Amino acid sequence: MRLWWTVLLAAALPVTVGASLAIGAGHVPLADVLPGVFSPDGGSRAQLIVHELRLPRTLLGVAVGMALGLAGAVMQALTRNPLAEPGLLGVNGGAALAVVLVIGAFRADDVLVYVWAAFAGAAGAAGLVYVIGARGRGGASPARLVLAGAAVNAVFGAMTAGVMLFTPHTFGGFRFWQVGTLGGRDVQVLLRVLPFVLAGTVLALALARPLNALGLGDDAGRALGSRPGRTRALAALAVVLLCGAATAAAGPIAFLGLAVPFAVRTAVGPDQRLVLPCSLLLAPVLLLGADIIGRVVAPGELETGIVTAFLGAPLFAVMVRRGRTREL
């Protein structure tokens, strides 16, 4: 029965991709969707909308959704906390600080510059969190990583606010990136982050069995042949690659990395061999759904990060209240 969830989600993803290509503020007849994807040279305005605007946006949504869902699942398994989310490793705080710095120091207004700056900041922050959490006896335990991540996020948040206070011109560019959106990104943004998403995906899926062993505790894991320190380091690297790339490309998108693994574990149980691939499939379905809602709910357009936060917060509260939290 649990395997059916994977089959169902695998079928839902192409349906959602098709809806993302067909639905938006501008009307596109269904007959123009496939020609717009594969042969947009027919001159039709609807086909150009599909190929130039919706196709890059949809593909980016798939990549970002997969990365955030998988990063959230790995993060919750790594910390053995069912309410953990990828930002606990300082990824969002480091990315935000880096974007503010390049805007403030260089007056950058290129999305591709934001991508590289955000990824560098995310990786640097996560590395700092891991170094701090690994110091002392006991190494990088889940509790140490969470505490170190909270401290680094707080410091970086204060530094970000300080930079914006002293360089007011940074606010305009930063607020557009910070809200989280799939719009305004071309295919070059996807190509920049795709290698990191693919590498993080392969690494995370390969860690399914070691993460299962880690969930039993360090001593039991060692008895089963696992190496807890190595597993934590590789899992942290996977989270940095996935969440860093997603945050760099689309900005910080709330609740997806938190709610998706929680919902998946409620349906399929705690086995990471099912949790990881199901999270990989469910997150882009929900992200593209939120993006579609944002396109049609208002006369203009509501950014994707706003929709996920607006819908995700109450739904997640209901899940926590009515559901039984799965132990990790």
Spell out the SS3 assignment of the chain.
Answer: CHHHHHHHHHHHHHHHHHHHHHCCCCCCCHHHHHHHHHCHHHCCHHHHHHHHHHHHHHHHHHHHHHHHHHHHHHHHHHHCCCCCCHHHHCHHHHHHHHHHHHHHHHCCCCHHHHHHHHHHHHHHHHHHHHHHHHCCCCCCCHHHHHHHHHHHHHHHHHHHHHHHHHCCCHHHHHHHHHCCCCCCCCHHHHHHHHHHHHHHHHHHHHCHHHHHHHCCCHHHHHHCCCCHHHHHHHHHHHHHHHHHHHHHHHCCCCCHHHHHHHHHHHHHCCCHHHHHHHHHHHHHHHHHHHHHHHHHCCCCCCCHHHHHHHHHHHHHHHHHHHCCCCCC
Question: Please, what is the average pLDDT of the chain?
Answer: 87
HSE, side-chain direction, 13 A CA sphere, residue 195: 5
- Higher pLDDT residue, 64 or 170? 64
Quote the crossing angle between the two packed helices 272-296 and 2-22, to the nearest 10°: 20
Q: Please report where in the chains the tokens 């899992």 appear, as a residue.
A: 235
Query: Looking at the whole model, is its pTM more than 0.85?
Result: yes
Q: Measuring CA to CA, which residue among 170, 178, 176 is closest to residue 95?
A: 178
Domain boundaries, the chain: 56-322
Binned at pLDDT 50, 70 and 90, residue 97 comes out as very high
Q: What is the pLDDT of residue 172?
A: 77
What pLDDT is stored for residue 261 in this prediction? Answer: 93
* pLDDT, position 282: 96
CATH superfamily, with its number, for domain 56-322? ABC transporter involved in vitamin B12 uptake, BtuC (1.10.3470.10)
For residues 72 and 43, which has the higher predicted lDDT (pLDDT)?
72
Give the C-alpha separation, 46 to 25, whole Å: 12
Kindly report, residue by residue over 57-75, the tens digit of the pLDDT. Answer: 999 999 999 999 999 999 9
- 138-163 pLDDT, tens digit each: 667 777 888 888 899 999 999 999 99
Q: What is the mean pLDDT of residues 130-141?
A: 78
Lowest-confidence segment of 165-179, 251-265, 306-320 by average pLDDT:
306-320
